Amino acid sequence: MTARPRVSAAGLAVLAALALLLAAGRPAYSRVVVTATPSPTATHEPTAALTPSTTSTATPTFTPTPMPLPSPTATATPTASPTPAPVVHAGPTGGWPLIVVGKPRTGLVALTFDAGGRDPGLTSQLLDALQHYGAHCTFFLTGEWAEANPELVRRMVSDGHELANHTYDHPHLPQVADQGILDQLSRTEQAVQKVAGVALQKYVRPPFGNYDDRVLALLTSHGYSVVYWSLDSADWRPEFTSRMVQDRVGEKAGAGDIVVAHCYAPKTAEAYPGVLASLRARGLRFGTLSQVLGR
């Protein structure tokens, strides 16, 4: 008869431990499962930073950065508005209207030209190009330019262009007292009436594009619409050639845009035959500021 093996005291202890585990009906090990909290449905809104757990060692994933707010001079299509013209509210307190873009649904581009100083530049050549393409636009005149170039002002009127106010001698309006600003506008109105027999539209483009809350409040309270732009032709920049101006306006301008250029710059007259050809090839038409604003 075979002798049964003798179990030591240590072996009995191991057997007892195994028996207890089997009796409990569970394995001799367990697994820790970490469940990530699901992120909410994306809303493109920044959320508050999460407070990290004191026991977490996981490396955080990419955190999205909110996109910057658009500039007031953005060219996005404006929504329908009960106001007579698309505006933004400008000035340090954001309380006064400033026209920066027209209505895209018109299908028109507003080509506008500022005439300051006394130098006519190549304005006659520019008018020839506009006439050739049947383009009507808006000229912002200073009073002294109108007085120095009466024949050109009369031609603008006879060719069907719209005339508006660019002050009398092109000052920085924030540096001018209220009555001085009003005098600037009335002197220009009188000068144009004298040389061309027409009244200016009640649009004002501040010289240098320079305004503040006081200027906007004063002009608005006297019935003027203050006009900025949505596309700068850059014809005033020395480093820009006429071809660069042509490409910039011809490729970038869209329906509803208000484009600013200048009569004194020879490169403007040189660029605009190409600008007009490019815009027409893209299916765009040209209109006065009033037409592009839907007025």
- 3-state SS assignment for residue 129: helix
Contacting residues for 256 by C-beta, under 8 A, at least 6 apart? 77, 78, 86, 101, 102, 103, 104, 105, 106, 108, 109, 230, 292
Q: What is the DSSP letter of 272?
A: H
Answer whether residue 72 is part of any domain.
Answer: no
Report the DSSP beta bridge partners of residue 114. 140, 262
Domain that holds residue 256: 88-290
Q: Is the pLDDT of residue 283 over 80?
A: yes
What type of residue is 44?
A: H
Contacting residues for 152 by C-beta, under 8 A, at least 6 apart? 120, 123, 124, 127
What type of residue is 292?
A: V
Active site residue 222: no
- 3-state SS assignment for residue 258: strand
Burial class of residue 5, CB neighbours in 10 A (0-12, 13-18, 19+): exposed
Distance CA 205, CA 90 (A): 14
* Total of domains in the chain: 1
Q: With contact defined as beta carbons under 8 Å apart, do 286 and 111 qualify?
A: yes
Answer whether residue 120 is part of any domain.
Answer: yes
Q: How confident is the model at residue 86 (pLDDT cuts 50, 70, 90)?
A: low
Answer whether residue 39 is part of any domain.
Answer: no
Answer whether residue 165 is part of any domain.
Answer: yes
Answer whether residue 64 is part of any domain.
Answer: no
Q: Is the pLDDT of residue 85 over 60?
A: no
In the set 89, 114, 161, 212, the catalytic residue is 114
Question: Residue 91: its pLDDT value, please?
Answer: 59
Q: How confident is the model at residue 96 (pLDDT cuts 50, 70, 90)?
A: confident
Answer whether residue 278 is part of any domain.
Answer: yes
Q: How confident is the model at residue 92 (pLDDT cuts 50, 70, 90)?
A: low
- 111-152 tens-digit pLDDT: 999 999 999 999 999 999 999 999 999 999 999 999 999 999
Distance CA 172, CA 209 (A): 9
Answer whether residue 38 is part of any domain.
Answer: no
Q: Is the pLDDT of residue 53 over 70?
A: no
| DSSP string of 72-123, one letter each residue | TT--PPPPP-SSSS--EEESTTS-EEEB----GGG-EEEEEEEE-SS--TTH
Answer whether residue 225 is part of any domain.
Answer: yes
CATH number at residue 247: 3.20.20.370
Distance CA 47, CA 30 (A): 37
- 57-73 tens-digit pLDDT: 333 332 332 323 233 33
Active site residue 262: yes
